[in-house]
């Protein structure tokens, strides 16, 4: 067996063991820093992703727009299962998620939201399903992950008002993100610069946790890196070369 | 005397026909089970039908409005038992729909005269002569002697009104609608057996719909039990469909609402509302690039949670941000209407706005700090104001009846990076523009 083929074989078995056996494609963020870190160079589609805010409503709002931005760059209808009624859809439009694509389901409680999500996840051709819940059990996450794998629809669980230090149950989700607001650039004039978020990838299958400071979604749902960071030499890389 | 009075003979046959027409209309629109109560009444079994209207009260209101609007004078009563509803509708001249709460039929019926019990006039007047003016007096008396004298019919009617005795009603089914029927050799009672028959019925009705070139928007399933009672369920579809698998999937979860009693001997499936549906033409190349089958998903969600829990949103022109969002139905035409892409709007809206304590320089400086829900936030940077004014003509809201009221919106960033949306009611200068109180209206990303 040629050397390359052996390596390829090994790689695929490692991918299988580490749970990186993606059955569907990936959806890049369009930011090399984040994409290069994620296995497959993007967010896995046809999988479950958890997004956490915090007790601060601003962080929940940031998490909301983070998800909206990802979905805005996908194609197809989006279903948003609400438990609380404070979602303001014009803001999703500002992040690029067109109102014609969005359908809102209001099941009223966690259980209903999970049932609604699972119903939506069984229909292939939908871009994504978002469920806002306060708790997610391991079993429920497995069910959602299996349903997402089956249809290729990407699922997002938005955990509202998640405590920073709360013990989190094991989850079958591919990734877990924690989005918090971060101070924006001071423009020196009485106006606000583009908002910034701290995007923490707390858990991902097949890669290490990492966090970034990014500039929030623009009107097409694209994130950006703050200008200072873009020009800074990659210290980690430099260190590696030096060693 | 009235010299120009026109005298017409009563035409009972035509009256009955008219009543049946009304019953068919009500059956199509409101409830799967409608029976005619000659000469002047209708029964509607609205159990479980409220969801399609947003509650039983809304259903009854809609029915009342439409019947009265058509020139008829109607009195509507809703109750647990047919007898109670019959009595209240005819003997409580409320002029609006009366809803007797579950379990209250004894209280409600007790106050009515005996004539409300659907008994012969002779019996009612005889009892009245004996001193029985209200039904509660009859309930309090021992049954034996009265039953011996006036017959058991009296107590059967009383029991029916109170819910102690069953009441058989013959539903009226429109003859021309697509329907499927299965008479069963052995009465069935298990969920599996019912599901099996539902599968057969949907196959039949879809064949009937196919012949008519239509799809069903609404389906009624009637189960006739051995004791002559009917159990009915209704489902609604967002778009016309004749997919037997889909219809079965919608009907099967409703089985739990059917009480089979001693067994079901006939099941009937009717499509009261149908709409034209063209047959899909297969692509010559064989591969079809169709969008996802949203109709089936939306039906499943709507029948589980109710149609009012499922919606899309579209821009609506209004000066006030909380009213710029209009709900639409879940399945809709693409309008391509979007919100103003320049004005900042929060991802999470706090509605109604909550008052906050603010330190800010007058007249139009942004807040320097504010206290919300007991937490102090120091403002680092801010943007604004965005001045909004108007809509004092609305009956509700902050602006009601105050034409000069002004909202000045500020987007503020606090320490840590969180962004909030605050507004001041008033322009900071003239007290006629508002009390200068501050509110929080949302949180940004």
Domain parsing of chain A, residue ranges: 22-242
Q: pLDDT value at position B304?
A: 84
Which range of residues forms the domain containing residue B385? 348-443
Residue of A100, A126, A216 lying closest to B336 (CB–CB): A100
Q: pLDDT value at position B287?
A: 42
Which tens digits make up the pLDDT trace of B242-269? Answer: 888 889 988 988 888 888 888 999 999 9
Q: pLDDT value at position A186?
A: 86
Can you tell me the distance from the alpha carbon of B254 to that of B277, in angstroms, rounded to the nearest whole number? Answer: 25
Banded pLDDT at B283 (limits 50, 70, 90): very low
Q: How many domains does chain B have?
A: 2
Q: Which of B324, B421, B418 has its CA nearest to residue B366?
A: B421
Quote the percentage of chain B above a pLDDT of 70. Answer: 97
Q: Is the model's pLDDT at A71 over the cut of 90? A: yes
Using the Cα atoms of residue B17, residue B19, residue B24 and residue B28 in order, give the sign of their dihedral.
positive
Residues 371-410 of B with CB under 8 A from A: 380-383
Residues 82-121 of A with CB under 8 A from B: 85-95, 98-100, 102-108, 112, 115-116, 119-120
Asked if residue B299 is part of any domain, the answer here is no
Q: Which residues of B348-374 are buried (b: 16+ CB within 10 A; e: fewer)?
A: bbbeebeebebebeeeeebbebbebee
Asked if residue B83 is part of any domain, the answer here is no
Interface probe, candidates A76, A90, A224, chain B, greatest B C-beta count within 10 A: A90
Domain boundary, last residue among B243, B276, B309 = B276
What average pLDDT does range A27-41 have in this prediction? 90
Asked if residue B407 is part of any domain, the answer here is yes
Set of chain A residues whose Cβ sits within 8 Å of the Cβ of B298: 103
The Cβ-side half-sphere exposure at B397, using a 13 Å CA radius, reads 22
Can you tell me the distance from the alpha carbon of A237 to that of A33, in angstroms, rounded to the nearest whole number? Answer: 12
Are A149 and A47 in contact by the 8 Å Cβ rule? The answer is yes
Q: Is the model's pLDDT at A41 over the cut of 80? A: yes
Q: pLDDT value at position A116?
A: 94
Q: Is the model's pLDDT at A229 over the cut of 60? A: no
Banded pLDDT at A228 (limits 50, 70, 90): low
- 8 Å CB contact of A180 and B419: no
3-state secondary structure of B110: helix
Chain B contact for A25 (CB, 8 A cutoff): no
- 8 Å CB contact of B292 and A77: yes
Q: What is the DSSP letter of B171?
A: B
Q: Is the model's pLDDT at B52 over the cut of 60? A: yes
Can you tell me the distance from the alpha carbon of A83 to that of B310, in angstroms, rounded to the nearest whole number? Answer: 13
Are B371 and B354 in contact by the 8 Å Cβ rule? The answer is no
Task: Give the H/E segment covering residue B266.
Answer: strand B264-276
Can you tell me the distance from the alpha carbon of B216 to that of B275, in angstroms, rounded to the nearest whole number? Answer: 6
Mean model confidence pLDDT for chain B: 85
Task: Give the H/E segment covering residue A200.
Answer: strand A196-204
Q: pLDDT value at position A197?
A: 94
Set of chain A residues whose Cβ sits within 8 Å of the Cβ of B325: 88-90
Maximum separation of any 2 CA atoms in chain A, in Å: 67
Residues 338-357 of B with CB under 8 A from A: 338-339, 341, 344-351
For B354, list phi and psi in degrees, rounded to 5: -105, 140
Min Cα distance B340 → chain A (Å) is 8
Q: pLDDT value at position A230?
A: 55
Name B44's bridge partners: B34
Banded pLDDT at B363 (limits 50, 70, 90): confident
Quote the percentage of chain A above a pLDDT of 70. Answer: 88
Q: Is the model's pLDDT at B419 over the cut of 70? A: yes
Can you tell me the distance from the alpha carbon of B435 to that of A74, in angstroms, rounded to the nearest whole number? Answer: 46
What average pLDDT does range B205-228 have in this prediction? 88
Banded pLDDT at A7 (limits 50, 70, 90): confident
CATH number for the domain spanning B198: value is 3.30.1490.100
Banded pLDDT at A133 (limits 50, 70, 90): very high
Mean model confidence pLDDT for chain A: 86
Quote the percentage of chain B above a pLDDT of 90. Answer: 16
Q: pLDDT value at position A214?
A: 93
Q: Is the model's pLDDT at B309 over the cut of 60? A: yes
Q: pLDDT value at position B233?
A: 86
- 8 Å CB contact of B418 and A181: yes
Which tens digits make up the pLDDT trace of B160-213? Answer: 888 888 777 777 877 778 888 899 989 998 999 999 999 999 999 999 898 888
What average pLDDT does range A183-194 have in this prediction? 88
Q: What is the DSSP letter of A144?
A: H
Asked if residue B147 is part of any domain, the answer here is no
Which tens digits make up the pLDDT trace of B98-157? Answer: 888 888 888 888 888 888 888 888 888 888 888 888 888 888 888 888 888 888 888 888
Burial class (CB in 10 A: 0-12, 13-18, 19+), B204: middle
Q: pLDDT value at position A167?
A: 66
Domain with residues A22-242, CATH architecture = 3-Layer(aba) Sandwich (3.40)
Asked if residue B123 is part of any domain, the answer here is no
Q: Is the model's pLDDT at B288 over the cut of 50? A: no
Which structure tokens are listed for A105? Answer: 């389901």
Instruction: List strand residue ranges (DSSP E) for B41-165, in order.
Output: 41-45, 77-78, 98-99
Banded pLDDT at A19 (limits 50, 70, 90): low
Domain boundary, last residue among B276, B294, B320 = B276
Chain A contact for B87 (CB, 8 A cutoff): no
CA distances, B139 to each of A134, B124, B125, B154 (Å): 53, 14, 17, 11
Are B426 and B435 in contact by the 8 Å Cβ rule? The answer is yes
What average pLDDT does range B414-422 have in this prediction? 92
Which single residue is written with the structure tokens 């058509």?
B70
The Cβ-side half-sphere exposure at A91, using a 13 Å CA radius, reads 25
Q: pLDDT value at position B369?
A: 92
Cα first-last separation, chain A:
35
- 8 Å CB contact of A76 and B292: yes
- 8 Å CB contact of A119 and B419: no
Q: pLDDT value at position B15?
A: 87
Q: Which residue has the higher pLDDT, A68 or B143?
A: A68
For A157, list phi and psi in degrees, rounded to 5: -105, 120
Q: pLDDT value at position B289?
A: 43
């Amino acid at each position: 067996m040629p050397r390359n083929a052996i390596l390829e074989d090994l790689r695929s078995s490692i991918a299988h063991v580490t749970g990186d056996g993606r059955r569907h494609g990936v959806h890049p963020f369009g930011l090399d820093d984040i994409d290069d870190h994620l296995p497959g160079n993007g967010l896995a589609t046809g999988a479950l992703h958890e997004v956490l805010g915090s007790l601060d409503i601003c962080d929940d709002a940031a998490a909301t727009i983070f998800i909206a931005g990802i979905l805005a760059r996908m194609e197809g209808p989006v279903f948003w299962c609400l438990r609380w009624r404070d979602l303001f859809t014009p803001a999703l439009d500002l992040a690029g998620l067109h109102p014609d694509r969005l359908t809102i389901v209001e099941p009223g409680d966690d259980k209903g939201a999970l049932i609604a999500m699972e119903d939506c996840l069984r229909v292939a051709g939908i871009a994504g399903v978002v469920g806002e819940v306060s708790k997610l059990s391991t079993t429920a996450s497995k069910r959602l992950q299996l349903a997402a794998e089956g249809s290729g629809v990407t699922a997002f669980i938005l955990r509202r008002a998640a405590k920073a230090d709360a013990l989190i149950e094991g989850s079958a989700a591919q990734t877990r993100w924690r989005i918090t607001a971060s101070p924006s650039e001071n423009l020196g004039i009485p106006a606000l610069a583009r908002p910034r978020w701290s995007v923490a990838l707390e858990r991902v299958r097949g890669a290490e946790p990492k966090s970034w400071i990014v500039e929030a979604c623009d009107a097409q749902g694209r994130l950006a890196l703050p200008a200072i960071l873009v020009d800074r030499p990659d210290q980690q890389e430099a260190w590696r070369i030096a060693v | 005397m009235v010299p120009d009075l026109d005298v017409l003979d009563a035409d009972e046959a035509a009256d009955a026909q008219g009543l049946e027409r009304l019953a068919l209309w009500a059956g199509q629109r409101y409830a799967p089970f409608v029976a005619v109560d000659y000469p002047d009444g209708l029964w509607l079994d609205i159990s479980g039908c409220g969801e399609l209207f947003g509650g039983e009260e809304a259903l009854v209101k809609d029915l009342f409005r439409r019947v009265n609007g058509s020139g008829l004078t109607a009195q509507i009563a809703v109750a647990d038992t047919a007898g109670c509803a019959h009595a209240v509708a005819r003997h409580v001249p409320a002029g609006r729909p009366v809803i007797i709460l579950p379990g209250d039929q004894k209280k409600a019926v007790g106050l009515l005269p005996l004539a409300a019990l659907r008994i012969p006039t002779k019996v009612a007047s005889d009892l009245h002569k004996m001193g029985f003016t209200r039904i509660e007096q009859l309930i309090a008396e021992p049954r034996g002697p009265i039953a011996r004298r006036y017959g058991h019919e009296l107590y059967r009617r009383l029991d029916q009104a109170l819910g102690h005795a069953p009441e058989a009603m013959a539903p009226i089914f429109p003859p021309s609608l697509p329907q499927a029927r299965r008479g069963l050799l052995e009465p069935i009672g298990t969920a599996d057996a019912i599901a099996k028959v539902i599968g057969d019925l949907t196959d039949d009705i879809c064949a009937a719909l196919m012949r008519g070139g239509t799809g069903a928007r609404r389906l009624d399933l009637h189960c006739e039990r051995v004791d002559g009672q009917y159990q009915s369920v209704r489902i609604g579809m967002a778009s016309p469909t004749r997919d037997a698998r889909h219809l079965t999937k919608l009907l099967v979860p409703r089985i739990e609402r059917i009480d089979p009693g001693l067994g079901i001997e006939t099941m009937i499936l009717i499509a009261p509302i149908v709409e034209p549906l063209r047959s899909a033409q297969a692509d010559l190349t064989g591969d079809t690039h169709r969008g996802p089958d949203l109709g089936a998903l939306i039906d499943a969600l709507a029948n589980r949670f109710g149609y009012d829990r499922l919606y899309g949103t579209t821009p609506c022109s209004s000066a006030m941000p909380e009213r710029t969002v209009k709900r639409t139905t879940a399945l809709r035409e693409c309008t391509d209407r979007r919100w103003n892409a320049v004005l900042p709007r929060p991802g999470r809206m706090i509605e109604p706005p909550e008052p906050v304590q603010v330190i800010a320089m007058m007249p139009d400086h942004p807040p320097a700090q504010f206290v919300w829900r007991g937490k102090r936030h120091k403002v680092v940077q801010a943007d604004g104001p965005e001045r909004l004014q108007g809509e004092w003509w609305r009956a509700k809201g902050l602006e009601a009846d105050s034409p000069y009221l002004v909202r000045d919106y500020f987007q503020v960033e606090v320490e840590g990076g969180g962004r909030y949306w605050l507004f001041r009611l008033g322009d900071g200068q003239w007290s006629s523009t508002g009390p200068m109180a501050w509110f929080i209206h949302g949180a940004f990303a």
